[in-house]
Every structure is written in structure tokens, then in C-alpha cells.
């Protein structure tokens, strides 16, 4: 079945497994990238290999000129109605690597939405001028709805979800996977690892997407550490249980900090507070990493953070070899370039390029 076979009311009620198949191209990559669930292990491995090849090609001028030529005939709209710096610049840079011309809308006050135009109409307008829409929004489900809408229009161009509501952030999860794979590639790989997530797990969409992607790897243990008010939602625990994944829910990160393979820190997501000062009333003083904490971690472990950070990781950790958050951010540019290249069927050309 295809997207065009369903009304929106029918499509929105389909199980995730059916939606994933509707969004899949013949080569296995997504036509629209909306959910972490669209990626299985084979697709993840192929995408990470493509990112590594792009990274190597880009080291030389001739290689960069080759990459710049791949999509120089295409245009991309970065529609970021939710504040962002890293994700926006990462996608912007990824587009530039592949030669796409980029336009942006980052403030609804500068668009016709200020005049009352709906987001749906804004996106339909963008589709008249561009070949790809990369969108970030606080509105859950908007990217999915617009992917269905455009697929049923005369301009069925791809949409990439750069963060939607408190639910999905698939490309952040992709760069997290790429960072973990690179971190452990010379030390046994990503299978059989323990991952500790710390901080605001209730409202942090990055943890939701990453825990989903990690189910593609063998024997991954998930440890969720947060104050009770900010603990991971039950639906994620149910998902892991249904997959047979081992998990635990803790309030004290010291219980496992010294033996886990990766620590994934997150900031307090107080932009989602329902009342002023709601998050400030929660004691988060014990959910921070400083020199004492990082020194207690295994020498082979890694410390990640989707950024931006506040004080949950001290700057004195920045030069520790286990601190991967700066590499993690740069990896985002490469994996997003790989995703865009795969979206436009450039995979074979990139893999065939001879890197001397």
C-alpha cells in the first residue's frame, strides 16, 4: 500500500509498522524521514557507512567539489518554527556539502502565519518553490501530516523531521547512533552495551528516539535515571519490554555510573513547563557530571549530550577523552548529509567515488 491509498483519517490510525512501509523507498531508505522506527539495523549501517564515506571525500578539494555537484540543481527549505541553533546549522551545512541552495523561515512573525495562515498552507507554499522541506516544530504530528499531504499533491517532495513536539527527533538519534558506533568501532562494536540516560527524560524527545533505534542492536541495556517527576514515560518501557530489551529505572546515577558503557546527559526541558517555575521546583542537583563523576566512569566509556547544555556537564569535562559531545555535534552534519544524499538517490555515486 502507498500513502496515496489512504485518506488522512485512515492513515493516522495505522500501526507504526504499516506507516513505516508506506514511507519506504525501493532501496530501503525513507522517502520522508519522520520517525526513528523507520530505520532497521541494515539501514542504519548503510547510512553510517555513507556518512563516513562523505566525511572522507570532503577532506580534499576535489572531493568537496564532487559532493557539491551532486544536488546543485536542488533547493531546500529549512522551516524551523521552534528555536534551534545546532540542528539548524547542522542541516544547513549538510545541504551546503551536497550543493543544495537553502532558504529559511525561523520566525513565524516574518511569514504569512503572522497574518493568520495555517502551518499546513505555509508548507504547501514552500513545496511550490523547493525540492526538500526540513522542518522543526513544537506541534506533534505536523511533519507526518504534511508528508501525507504532499504525497497526495502534485508536488510530492520529501520532508525530514528535525524535531516534532516532545515525541520524535529521528535525525538526532541517527547522529547519536553514528557517534556510538564510531566510539566503539575499535572496541567490540555497539552490541552488548549499557546506556545510561540522565536528566529530563519525560520531555526529552532525543532519549525517546535513541532508545528506539538502539533496539536494533543486540543485548543493549537501558538505564533511565531521573527525578520521579521527570522520569521516562511508560510507553518507552513497554516498547523495550515488548522487544525483550533489558532496562532499569533509577533515581541515583551513582548506582551505575562506574560500570556503564555510555552516559547520555540531557538538560531540563523547561520550555515545556505548564506553569512558571514548574521545573525550578524539582531538585536536579544530583543529576550532574563534573570531574569527580567523569573520573569514576570506565576508561572505555563515553559521555554524550545532545546539547545545548546548562550545568549538567561541567566544562572541566570537555577535554576528557570520554567526552564525545563535540564530536557528536559534528557527526550530525555528516549523518544528515548522508540522509539527504540517500533521500535523493545519490548513494551509489558517493560509494563509487575513489578516495585516494
pLDDT band at 330 (very low <50, low <70, confident <90, very high): very high
- Name the catalytic one among 41, 75, 86, 106: 86
pLDDT in tens, 54-108: 999 999 999 999 999 999 999 999 999 877 788 999 999 999 999 999 999 876 6
Query: Would you state the pLDDT for residue 269?
Result: 78
What pLDDT score was predicted for residue 279? 78
Nearest to 307 by CA among 194, 176, 216: 176
Each residue of 15-36: pLDDT tens digit? Answer: 999 999 999 999 999 999 999 9
Residues 6+ apart with CB under 8 A from 3: 11, 22, 23, 147, 148, 151, 152
Task: For the sheet with 302-304, list strands across it.
Answer: 246-250, 221-225, 194-198, 262-265, 302-304
The pLDDT, as a whole number, for residue 1 is 67
Judge whether 169 counts as a catalytic residue: yes
Confidence of residue 154 (pLDDT cuts 50, 70, 90): confident
Catalytic one of 7, 59, 61, 115: 115
Alpha-carbon distance of 120 to 249, in angstroms, equals: 39
* pLDDT exceeds cutoff 70 at 114: no
Report, as an integer, the average pLDDT of 336-349. Answer: 98
189's enclosing H/E stretch is none
Q: Domain 171-329 class?
A: alpha beta
Q: Residue 115 catalytic?
A: yes
Please name the residue that has the C-alpha cell 526540513.
134
Residue 121: what pLDDT?
82
Q: Provide the pLDDT for residue 64.
A: 97
Structure confidence by residue, pLDDT tens digits, 275-294? 777 777 787 889 999 999 99
Domain ranges of the chain: 3-169+331-351, 171-329
Nearest residue to 231 via CA among 247, 215, 243, 246: 247
CA nearest neighbour of 104 among 93, 118, 120: 93
- Percentage, residues of the chain above pLDDT 70: 95
Segment 254-264 shows an average pLDDT of 97
Give me the pLDDT at residue 107, please.
67
Q: Chain-wide mean pLDDT for the chain?
A: 91
Handedness of CA 315, 319, 320, 324 (dihedral sign): positive
Among 44, 267, 51, 52, residue whose Cα is nearest residue 177: 44
Q: Give the active site residue among 169, 193, 205, 222.
A: 169
Domain 3-169+331-351 matches domain 171-329 at the CATH topology level: yes
Q: Which of 33, 87, 179, 343 is catalytic?
A: 87
The single residue of 32, 53, 119, 136 carrying the catalytic annotation is: 136
Q: How far is CA 286 from CA 3, 123, 200, 247, 251, in A?
A: 47, 43, 13, 21, 9
Least-confidence region, from 45-54, 136-145, 217-226: 136-145
Per-residue confidence at 116, pLDDT binned at 50, 70, 90?
Answer: low
**Model confidence at 168: pLDDT above 90:** no
Overall average pLDDT of the 326-341 stretch: 96
Is residue 87 part of the annotated active site? The answer reads yes
Nearest residue to 34 (alpha-carbon basis) of 149, 159, 121, 133:
159
Nearby residues of 11 by Cβ (< 8 Å), 6 or more positions away: 3, 19, 22, 148
Looking at residue 323, the DSSP 8-state letter turns out to be B
Pick the CATH number of 3-169+331-351 from 3.40.50.1950, 1.10.287.610, 3.40.50.10420, 3.40.50.1370: 3.40.50.1370
Has residue 335 got a pLDDT over 80? Answer: yes
Report the pLDDT value the prediction gives residue 137, as an integer from 0 to 100.
86
Per-residue confidence (pLDDT) for residue 111, from 0 to 100: 57
What's the pLDDT at 226?
Answer: 94
Name the residue with cell 540543481: 73
317's CB contacts (< 8 A; 6+ apart) are: 289, 290, 291, 294, 303, 323
pLDDT in tens, 303-321: 999 988 889 999 999 999 9
Assigned C-alpha cell, 270? 523547561
Provide mean pLDDT across the span 172-186: 95
Amino acid at each position: 500500500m502507498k500513502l496515496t491509498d489512504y485518506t488522512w483519517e485512515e492513515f493516522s490510525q495505522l500501526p507504526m509498522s504499516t506507516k513505516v512501509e508506506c514511507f519506504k523507498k525501493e532501496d530501503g531508505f525513507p522517502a520522508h524521514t519522520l520517525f526513528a522506527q523507520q530505520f532497521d539495523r541494515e539501514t542504519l549501517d548503510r547510512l553510517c557507512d555513507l556518512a563516513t564515506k562523505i566525511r572522507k571525500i570532503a577532506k580534499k578539494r576535489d572531493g568537496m567539489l564532487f559532493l557539491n555537484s551532486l544536488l546543485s540543481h536542488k533547493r531546500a527549505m529549512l522551516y524551523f518554527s521552534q528555536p534551534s541553533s545546532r540542528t539548524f546549522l547542522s542541516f544547513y551545512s549538510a545541504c551546503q556539502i551536497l550543493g543544495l541552495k537553502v532558504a529559511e523561515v525561523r520566525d513565524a512573525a516574518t511569514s504569512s502565519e503572522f497574518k493568520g495562515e495555517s502551518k499546513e498552507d505555509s508548507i504547501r507554499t514552500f513545496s511550490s518553490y523547493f525540492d526538500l522541506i526540513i522542518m522543526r516544530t513544537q506541534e506533534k504530528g505536523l511533519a507526518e501530516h504534511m508528508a501525507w499531504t504532499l504525497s497526495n499533491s502534485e508536488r510530492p517532495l520529501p520532508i525530514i523531521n528535525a524535531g516534532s513536539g516532545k515525541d520524535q527527533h529521528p535525525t538526532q538519534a541517527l547522529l547519536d547512533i553514528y557517534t556510538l558506533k564510531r566510539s566503539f568501532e575499535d572496541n567490540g562494536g555497539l552490541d552488548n552495551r549499557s546506556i545510561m540516560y540522565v536528566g529530563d527524560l519525560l520531555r526529552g524527545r532525543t532519549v525517546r528516539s535513541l532508545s528506539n533505534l538502539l533496539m536494533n542492536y543486540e543485548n543493549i541495556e537501558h538505564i533511565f535515571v531521573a527525578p520521579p517527576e521527570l522520569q521516562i514515560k511508560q510507553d518507552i518501557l513497554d516498547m523495550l519490554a515488548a522487544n525483550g530489551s533489558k532496562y532499569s529505572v533509577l533515581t541515583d546515577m551513582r548506582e551505575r555510573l562506574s560500570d556503564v558503557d555510555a552516559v547520555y546527559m540531557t538538560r531540563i526541558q523547561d520550555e515545556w513547563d505548564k506553569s512558571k517555575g514548574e521545573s525550578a521546583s524539582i531538585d536536579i542537583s544530583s543529576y550532574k557530571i563534573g570531574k569527580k563523576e567523569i573520573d569514576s566512569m570506565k576508561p572505555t566509556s563515553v559521555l554524550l549530550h545532545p546539547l545545548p547544555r546548562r550545568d549538567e556537564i561541567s566544562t572541566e569535562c570537555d577535554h576528557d577523552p570520554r567526552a564525545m559531545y563535540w564530536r557528536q555535534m559534528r557527526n550530525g552534519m555528516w549523518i544528515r548529509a548522508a540522509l539527504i544524499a540517500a533521500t535523493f538517490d545519490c548513494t551509489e555515486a558517493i560509494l563509487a567515488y575513489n578516495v585516494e
